[in-house]
Amino acid sequence: MYGQEFASEHARKYFKKVKNAQEAHEAIRPTNIRRLPSMLVGVLDEDSMKLYILIWSRIVACQMEPAIIEQMLLDVGNDDESIILRYACSRIEFLGYQAVLRYIRLVMSKLHENGEEIKQLHPR
């Protein structure tokens, strides 16, 4: 759906980092990852749709490549450094998993506007 550059080479496996960490129940996952949230408009009620969107987006995003963000920092000051002005900004070079989050924001905004329009959405 997003392209090969967004997919991890191998399925990611996560392990507990903390002894008493709470983990998700095995039943909390989409039955078919290809069942996009936009395909379920009109099938699920609004609350069920929001829950499915949350679960689907987290499952897909956690298996994608990380985002690459270039960060820039510029300090400008006088010779004795009594005044220093700092400017910081960032630029996304590669969306990675954030592509799913953008798609979900679009789905949610369309869901609130008009549920029928959501069926036309595609992540690209």
Pairwise pLDDT comparison (116 vs 61), residue with the higher score: 61
Q: What is the pLDDT of residue 89?
A: 95
pLDDT of 38 > 70? The answer is yes
> pLDDT, tens digit, for every residue of 49-96?
888 888 888 888 888 899 999 999 999 999 888 999 999 999 999 999
**9 to 5, 6, 64, 89: CA distances (angstroms):** 9, 9, 9, 31
CA 20 to centroid of chain Cα atoms: 26
Q: What is the pLDDT of residue 27?
A: 67
Q: Is the pTM of this model over 0.75?
A: no
pLDDT of 4 > 60? The answer is yes
Q: Report helix, strand and coil shares of the chain as percent, to nearest 5.
A: 35, 20, 45
